[in-house]
Amino acid sequence: MTYTELKKDHQNKLTILIDKIGIFWAFSDKQMTEGLDKLKLTTKDIISLGSGMLCPRANYEEYKAEVKALNDEFVASMKTLPPEQVIEYELSNHECYYSGDPSEIYDLFEDIGYTKEQILKVYNDTKGRHND
pLDDT in tens, 52-65: 999 999 999 999 99
Residues paired with 54 in a beta bridge: 24, 48
* pLDDT over 90 (residue 111): no
Compute the distance between CA of residue 9 and CA of residue 13 in angstroms, rounded to an integer. 6
7 pLDDT band, cuts 50/70/90, is very high
Alpha carbon separation from 63 to 17, 23, 84 (Å, rounded): 8, 9, 32
132 pLDDT band, cuts 50/70/90, is low
∠105-106-107 over CA atoms, to 5°?
Answer: 95
Model pTM score: 0.85
Alpha carbon separation from 116 to 11, 29, 74, 86, 128 (Å, rounded): 27, 45, 21, 14, 19
